[in-house]
Amino acid sequence: MRNILVLTVWIWSVAYAASTNDTRQLVVVTTEGWNDNVGVLQRYEKAAKRWRKVGDAVTVKLGRNGLGWGVGLHRVPVNARYVKKEGDGRSPAGIFSLKQAFGYAPFEANYPYKIYKESDHCVDDPHSKFYNKIVDSTVVARDYRSFEPMKFSKNYYKYGIVVNHNHIDEAGAVPGAGSCIFLHIKDIPTAGCTVTDEKEIKKLIRWLDAAKHPLLVQGPEKVVKKLMRSLP
C-alpha cells in the first residue's frame, strides 16, 4: 500500500511540475532531519542570477512528527521513506508555489490577500469532493465531516499564507496526500503547517511580491540543498 501511495504522489508531482524560471523570491525552511519539528526560515531573493539572503534567519515550528515529501513542483523519489499523508503530523517537504496570503482584516501587501471569516472552511476530509479546498460553508453543499476553520478564537490564522501543496483549491488533489497547509501564527509544533510569531508572518507577507513568483522550499537541510540546485 505504501509503495502505491509513493508511486501515486510521484506521478502527480511530475504532472504538476511547472516552470520556475520566473522565480526571484524563495522562502527556504530547513531542519536537521526528517523527524525534527523545529527549523529555520530564511528568505532569499535573486539578483544578478544569484540567490542572496534577505533579512535574518527565523526559528519556525513544523509538523509535530517532522517532514514528509509533499505534492508540489518537484519529483518525489520513488523509494522515499517519508511521504506526507493526511493526519500524519508531518509538514510537506519539497518545492511549492504560494497562493494568497490571508488574515482577519485588511492588510497592505504586494501579494494576493484574502480576508477569511468563520464560515470559511479548509476541508481535510479525503472523502469529500472539496478535499483540500477552502470553501464558504454557507454557499457549498456540504459533504464533509472534517475541516479546518479559517477564522477562530485562538487567532492562529490572524495572518498567514496558503501553501500550494497537493493542488489546494484546484482540481486533482490526491485523496489522503495531505491538506490545508499554511504558513501561519503559532508557537508550538503543528499538524503539518509551518509556524512562527505574528511579527515574522506579517514581515513575510509584506516582503512577498507577486511579480517575483515566490516559492517555498522546505525539507531537511541536505534535501533542500539538492532542491535549490534544481532551480534556475
Q: Mean pLDDT across the chain, nearest whole number?
A: 92
Using the predicted structure, report yes or no on whether residue 57 has a pLDDT greater than 90.
Answer: yes
Instruction: Map residue 52 onto helix, strand or coil.
Output: strand
Structural domain count, the chain: 1
pLDDT value of position 19: 55
Question: Which tens digits make up the pLDDT trace of 112-154?
Answer: 999 999 999 999 999 999 999 999 999 999 999 999 999 999 9
- Of the two residues 115 and 78, the one the predictor is more confident about is 115
Using the predicted structure, report yes or no on whether residue 1 has a pLDDT greater than 50.
Answer: no
pLDDT value of position 13: 37
Q: Which three cell numbers stand for residue 95?
A: 518545492
Rounded mean pLDDT of 78-90? 97
Sorted by sequence, the CB contacts under 8 Å of residue 25 that are 6+ apart come out as: 43, 44, 45, 46, 207, 208, 209, 212, 213, 214, 215
Q: Above pLDDT 70, what percent of the chain? A: 92
pTM of the model: 0.91
pLDDT value of position 171: 86
pLDDT value of position 5: 41
Question: Which tens digits make up the pLDDT trace of 168-214?
Answer: 999 889 999 999 999 999 999 999 999 999 999 999 999 999 999 99
Residues of the domain holding 109: 2-229
Task: Identify the burial level of 203 via C-beta atoms within 10 angstroms of its C-beta, where 0-12 means exposed, 13-18 middle and 19 or more buried.
Answer: middle
